[in-house]
Structure 1
Amino acid sequence: MKIVVPVKLLPSPDAAQALRDELAGCNAGANYVSEVAFVNGTMREYALRKLVYAELRERGIKSAAAQQLIRRVVDAYATLRANIRAGNLGKKDSKARAKAESKPVVFRKDAAQAYDHRNMGWDIDVQTVAITTMSGRLRGIPFVCSPQQLKTLAQYRKGEADLLCKDGTWYLYATCDVPEADQCEPAGFIGVDLGIVNIATASSGYQAAGRKLNQYRKRQLGLRKKLQKKGTKSAKRLLKKQRRKESRRAKDINHCISKAIVTEAERTARGISLEELKGIRERVRLRKPQRVALHSWAFAQLGDFIAYKARRAGVPLVYVDPAYSSKECAECGHIDRFNRIDQARFICRGCGVVAHADRNASRVLARRGQAVWDAGRKSHVPATRPQV
């Protein structure tokens, strides 16, 4: 299983300037390669390399970096073609698709650049890296990370690392190939119901309330509107400082929630049953205030965090159809739209059971997860002996 470990670089002013020049030069080279590929219709790496490699080397880009940015351009066009085939840019006569097909792919001046063992080296013991740039080899650049991240880097680092600058801070995103734990045979499943009022409700009893976070997001939205309306230099400076602050907080909360759920599943030797929420924004019709809340929260990120943590811990994970899970009784299976009295209360019209609505839905999802697992489980019946 491949995971990404981010580490923060602490370069000197001269080294930081060299890194900025490196990113700017590589991305300018990538735009040149993209234009050549678009004009000539050459989207294969080997054929494209013949056309642009010499020019990239004349621009001062090192050999390994030149080959990596050519591969990046080829991957970008492959992604564009895949999005067009999937209809993500609209139908054939749509403006978005016509705009994407009418010009070359463009790379930002500060877009990330990949490095591997040919143009980068790690010294884990002293926590430094060496990076080859257009200005030469930069050695002894210190980096900082948590002890757990350092241990993961030392044991499982493999492949490329992406150099990136965010708001003046330099990062390396290193790829690590972490072995997956062997899956256990689950003694039941924990259903996880995702929502806005309660971010996650597990059938095991765990519940992550969203009230505090929703209040924080509402304050941040009001602050952004006020600063954007003001438009002064100090307001713009504060907006820049607040940039990505809300997403970082949501990411941290998602990590905490996913860790709690997976830890409980591992402790009790149970699997996890998650809702399949792909396309929820297109399926669900909501009022405008609800739309803001739905589109702001990173449900997919929380699901991804639970999935990769479960794989590392060897916890079985299944995805189930969430249709009518909020209206189905976990005790008798009766489905009625009047079962859900309001956001928090559930009263079954069939058997009369009273329960918390999200807790009932999580139990329904747990039962569906067990059914999915049983349907795909291998038979453990011993083979019959041949007749003599």
Structure 2
Amino acid sequence: MQVRLFPDVGQEAALRDTLTLCNEAANLVSAEAYRTRVYGKQSLQRLTYGRLKGMGLSAQPAIHVARKVAGTYTALKSSILAGNLGKPGSKRRRKAEAKPIAFRRDAAQPFDDRCLSWQIADRTVSIWAVGGRLNRVRFACSEQQYSTLVTHRKGESDLVHRDGKWYLYATCDIPDAQVKQPDGFLGVDLGIANIATTNDGTRHSGKGLNRVRHRNQRLRAKLQRIGTKSAKRLLKARRRKEARFATDTNHRIAKQIVAEAERTGRGIALENLTGIRDRVRLRRPQRVTLHSWAFHQLGQFIAYKAKRTGVALVHVNPAYTSQGCCACGHIAKANRLNQSTFRCTSCGFAEHADVNAARNIATRGAADWAAVSLPNAA
């Protein structure tokens, strides 16, 4: 749960000094971990605890700094094993493995309930800082967020400084709702021209959204060609702006899809898009569009919103969903006349190509759900 902090001038200076010190300490721990090849939480804590205390950190912040570094190296190892940084010997992978992980001066810092306490009724927090504990730092949130904090807040909170603003990311442990037996499935086809299309015929995209995406691509390419220091600074700002736009759009699309499935008592069938960027072959303009949208994030948003509402969710094999006829099952490349038109060469069935694919996904979702929930039905 993200809440906005409103520190006064003195509190803001103390928070900035705190993040700076914590991340200087994290860089020290990271360098020591890289040098000694010690990456475990407890081992790294024992190795560096004395030096962290000597830098001015209290006991709990020192422990959290060591754990933050250990967690970062664990994430790097997992990313390498998953192939996200390329094959062994690739330039990107060698660059990641050639030096210790570095932390920005304002990188996020976790705090537990010993270092940070919430006075939710007063909408203030008390937080450990370098010069002494800061009391009554104001925060703001919506009524829904307030209710979630009161009911479900549990565990650590991360202090984040982003774009000149201060935030706390509070961990909330919300139990999943009991999954309801679905009465059919809402198939969702993810694509380039239309980000998401359901088998009901709803297409979540539109000309306005695509205009924004294409404009961002043109501006990005223009700044990359210029290549000056100021252009790179603008590119960095645009990257954050585009990320916020994509996140907001994905949230709205996911909310609409889950709400429709819940309203009609259906489950949701999604394509399993693991490895799509490695296996899909597209023309250059389409590659840019594919790689510039967070389809995985959209899938994650649909998944967690479905869990909170008890909507069943299945991931299906996407093979041939775009070439197969949802009416007769005939599969052929010739069925797909162009991006938007599907006409079966066997039975003559015609439909929007994305809607046809979504119907195939819905059918596979129902079959996969039956195979898992009723394995002995046959």
User: TM-score, normalised to structure 1's length?
Assistant: 0.91
Determine the C-alpha separation between the residues in 1 that align with 2:86 and 2:353.
Answer: 38
Give the alignment partner of residue 12 of structure 2, picking from 16, 23, 39: 16
1:7 aligns with 3
User: Is residue 150 of structure 1 aligned with residue 153 of structure 2?
Assistant: no
1:42-53 equivalences under 5 Å are: 42-53=38-49
Q: How many pairs were matched up?
A: 376
User: Is residue 366 of structure 1 aligned with residue 362 of structure 2?
Assistant: yes
| Contact kept? 1:196, 1:210, Cα under 8 Å | no
Moved more, 112-121 or 351-360: 351-360
Kindly provide the amino acid, as one letter, of the partner of residue 64 in structure 2: Q
1:271 aligns with 267
Q: Secondary structure in 1 aligned to 2:187?
A: strand
Unaligned ranges ≥5, structure 1: 382-388
Q: 1:88 Cα deviation (Å)?
A: 3.6
Unaligned ranges ≥5, structure 2: none
Q: 1:352 Cα deviation (Å)?
A: 1.1
Q: Provide, for residues 190-216 of structure 1, a one-character-per-residue CA deviation record: whole Å limited to 9, x for no partner.
A: 100111221211113322124211211
Determine the C-alpha separation between the residues in 2 that align with 1:327 and 1:309.
Answer: 30
Q: Provide, for residues 302-338 of structure 1, a one-character-per-residue CA deviation record: whole Å limited to 9, x for no partner.
A: 1111100000010000000111111111111111111
Q: 1:101 Cα deviation (Å)?
A: 3.3
Determine the C-alpha separation between the residues in 2 that align with 1:379 and 1:349.
Answer: 35
Q: 1:224 Cα deviation (Å)?
A: 4.5
User: Is residue 36 of structure 1 aligned with residue 29 of structure 2?
Assistant: no
Determine the C-alpha separation between the residues in 1 that align with 2:232 and 2:367.
Answer: 54
1:316 aligns with 312
User: Is residue 116 of structure 1 aligned with residue 77 of structure 2?
Assistant: no
Determine the C-alpha separation between the residues in 2 that align with 1:326 and 1:358.
Answer: 7
| Contact kept? 1:192, 1:275, Cα under 8 Å | yes
Kindly provide the amino acid, as one letter, of the partner of residue 368 in structure 2: V
Q: Secondary structure in 2 aligned to 1:193?
A: strand
| Contact kept? 1:200, 1:207, Cα under 8 Å | yes
| Contact kept? 1:164, 1:172, Cα under 8 Å | yes
Q: Secondary structure in 1 aligned to 2:158?
A: strand
Give the alignment partner of residue 256 of structure 1, picking from 240, 252, 256: 252
Kindly provide the amino acid, as one letter, of the partner of residue 119 in structure 1: C
User: TM-score, normalised to structure 2's length?
Assistant: 0.93
Q: Provide, for residues 47-89 of structure 1, a one-character-per-residue CA deviation record: whole Å limited to 9, x for no partner.
A: 3222221211111112111000111111222223333434444
Determine the C-alpha separation between the residues in 2 that align with 1:94 and 1:316.
Answer: 40
| Contact kept? 2:117, 2:125, Cα under 8 Å | yes
Q: Secondary structure in 2 aligned to 1:331?
A: coil
Kindly provide the amino acid, as one letter, of the partner of residue 349 in structure 2: V
Superposition RMSD in Å: 2.2
Distance 1:236 1:88, change over 3 A: closer
1:354 aligns with 350
Give the alignment partner of residue 332 of structure 2, picking from 317, 329, 336: 336
Determine the C-alpha separation between the residues in 2 that align with 1:351 and 1:88.
Answer: 43
| Contact kept? 2:192, 2:286, Cα under 8 Å | no
Q: Secondary structure in 2 aligned to 1:250?
A: helix
2:178 aligns with 182
Q: 1:226 Cα deviation (Å)?
A: 5.0
Determine the C-alpha separation between the residues in 1 that align with 2:242 and 2:207.
Answer: 15
Kindly provide the amino acid, as one letter, of the partner of residue 277 in structure 2: R
1:67-216 equivalences under 5 Å are: 67-216=63-212
Determine the C-alpha separation between the residues in 2 that align with 1:41 and 1:355.
Answer: 58
1:244 aligns with 240
Determine the C-alpha separation between the residues in 2 that align with 1:380 and 1:232.
Answer: 64
User: Is residue 345 of structure 1 aligned with residue 341 of structure 2?
Assistant: yes
Determine the C-alpha separation between the residues in 1 that align with 2:76 and 2:236.
Answer: 30
Structure whose alpha-carbon radius of gyration is higher: 1
Kindly provide the amino acid, as one letter, of the partner of residue 360 in structure 1: N
| Contact kept? 2:45, 2:67, Cα under 8 Å | no
Q: Provide, for residues 21-56 of structure 1, a one-character-per-residue CA deviation record: whole Å limited to 9, x for no partner.
A: 111100110111122222223223333222221211
Kindly provide the amino acid, as one letter, of the partner of residue 54 in structure 1: G
Determine the C-alpha separation between the residues in 2 that align with 1:53 and 1:93.
Answer: 35
Distance 1:242 1:46, change over 3 A: closer
Determine the C-alpha separation between the residues in 1 that align with 2:228 and 2:375.
Answer: 67
| Contact kept? 1:62, 1:133, Cα under 8 Å | no
Distance 1:149 1:380, change over 3 A: farther
1:385 aligns with none
Q: 1:91 Cα deviation (Å)?
A: 4.1
Determine the C-alpha separation between the residues in 2 that align with 1:204 and 1:163.
Answer: 43
Determine the C-alpha separation between the residues in 2 that align with 1:28 and 1:84.
Answer: 25
Q: 1:129 Cα deviation (Å)?
A: 1.2
